[in-house]
Chains A and B, each alone.
Chain A
Amino acid sequence: MALLETKDISINFGGLWAVKDVDFTVEANKIVGLIGPNGSGKTTFLNIISGIYGSFKGTSGEVYLDGEQIRGLKPYEVYKKGMSRTYQSSRLCWEQSVADNLLVGCYTHQDYSLFDSIFRPKMVNNKIYDELDRALDLLSTFNPSLVDRRYDLAKNIPHIDRRRIEITRALLSNPKLLLLDEPTAGLNDEETMTMMDEIRMVKEKMKGSAVIIIEHDMQVMEKVPDSIVVFNAGEKIAEGTYQEIINDQDVIDAYIGGGDEDE
């Protein structure tokens, strides 16, 4: 059974189809790349499956995560079902420390009462410290020096490390499916290469899980995903390996725009 399966997913904004009749499947232990020209519906598609559009009336179709229908659920419900994501631009609390930014992802799945909040028994504090240790341990696999900077404000952290913090935070909920929306945006070539290695490492860590990654950088698409899906004007126009995709005439026409296969 596929980990994620969508059937005829569509969304219509006032007559404009941002995504139309998309069937999409992701198997466990796979990384699927999602590419397409600007405005082709990639991020909108992620927003639908992650619940951002919730019960928006213009949405139709079905989304199954691990066999369970999740379309129409709210983002926090989708999160609890096992889907985490990052965004195109950094979503950090700039005035908070690295540790606080990581713990945002922990508070919501901690189960403590108002009594615990007031009196903070040792057990509750220990839980928080345990979560922080786990978060820092995970973060150190990306960049060990970040652990020493855990009390630095997020605004003072380099861009690539901000990405690492966001991915770590997303991983803290042990997701079945991780959605990465342009994780290398704003990174230079060297940082992009590093990030690619780290995404592959993330996949190894998430046994039984899967990753969907949106990218414009074809270097990343060549080396990271197991398969690639191409969107154009809200529709899925191709699916296959990197080699299949770059030789697909529809993709060349729609995305590469004239056959520049190296772009």
Chain B
Amino acid sequence: MGRFGNLLLSAILCGCTYTLVAIGYCLFFGVLDVVVFCCGDIAIFGAFSIIGAFTIIWSAGIFQAVPAIVAVLILLVVASILCAALGLITYRVSVKPFEKSSALMPLLSTIALGVVIKEVLGLIFQPVVNNIAKGVVRVDDPKTVVGGRNPQSMPQLIAAGGSTLTRNLIIIIVVALILLALFFFLNKTKLGLSMQAISQNKELALMTGVNVKSCIRWTFIIGGVLLAIGGFLLGNYQTILRFDGGTMYGTKGFAAAVVGGLKSTWGAVIGGMLLGFVEVFTAGLIPGGTKFQNVIAFIVVIIFIVFKPEGIIGEKVAEKV
């Protein structure tokens, strides 16, 4: 694969990771009209919970006895359950108490919860994982994650011993499958249709027999699972994970969601990909571009906000923001 091909693949991978967190923002904003700003932190929590589960289960010798795909599924299930629980906690602690308040209250509250999540992650993982320097975990270095005999890192595991290219293709396929499943869920199932009804008109949903509270709870559960998968993919795409990485990851996910259209799932996909492409191509094509790839990416975001505030395929939400 040539240089351009590599850049293209990296851009898609980067876009995939932003897409999932952007969809999290879209789902939460859709049913509540508030920005749940700790999405990035929930995703990073998912990534670290996978590292923790990986370490524990590897130490117990279970992973050595099962095929790689089973190991990956076990990790995903663990992370999904934990992130779904964290999603529910986010709703109960940081969103529900402010249902009648200004949208600024849950925004501030979820920012605060994000700080709590990253600090707790730091406290838990500092003593567990070896060789952590300044809060950084090298996910691709087996010794830092599991140690022991025949250590295997997450990226090695997900590719089942295959190449980096295989691993990357798996990530893209996983995201594509998730998007298909999400599209199907939102458009074909009763719960998905109810969530769309709430998103478009809450009073309408209330008086057409939709159990709004239950739908909101399910949205946080489903959003939590998506963010867990996002964290898992981020951990595999990046070679390092930071405890405080959720802030930047979440900000980029939010930016992607806004650029795409805050209530549009497909807008989140487009926004996420756009951000991924701008970032990767800035870093790859401009000499020294890695130093200011974020600057360029956010300048693009600002340009979009100025000229198309409702998002690429979104509805106008300026009054709500």
Contacts and interface: CB of A to CB of B under 8 A. Distances in A.
Interface residues of B, number: 21
**9 nearest CB pairs, A to B:** A108-B209, A91-B204, A93-B200, A79-B209, A75-B206, A117-B189, A105-B208, A76-B211, A76-B209
B71 to A, nearest CB: 27
Interface string B173-195: 00000000000100011100110
Nearest to A91: B204
B99 interface: no
Given A107-B193, A107-B194, A108-B194, A92 B209 contact: no
A64 B309 CA distance: 48
A107 B189 CA distance: 10
Interface stretch (A28-36, A80-88, A214-222, A226-234): A80-88
**Residue among B203, B204, B207, B213 with max Cβ neighbours from chain A (10 Å):** B207
B315 interface: yes
Contact of B201 (A80, A92, A170): A92
A84 B207 contact: yes
B197 interface: yes
Contacts of B200: 93-96
Given A87-B203, A96-B200, A104-B197, A79 B190 contact: no
B203 A112 contact: no
Interface in A59-107: 74-76, 79-80, 84-85, 87, 91-96, 104-105, 107
Interface string A104-135: 11011110101001101000000000000000
A256 interface: no
Nearest to B196: A93
A40 to B, nearest CB: 21
A173 interface: yes
Contacts of A91: 201, 203-204, 207
A50 interface: yes
A238 interface: no
Contacts of A163: none
A120 B205 CA distance: 24
B210 interface: yes
Interface string A45-59: 000001010000000
B212 interface: yes
B206 A108 contact: no
A125 to B, nearest CB: 11
Contact of A80 (B184, B204, B209, B212): B209
Contacts of A109: 209
B315 A95 contact: yes
7 contacts: A52-B206, A75-B206, A91-B201, A95-B200, A104-B204, A117-B189, A117-B190
Given A110-B190, A114-B189, A76 B201 contact: no
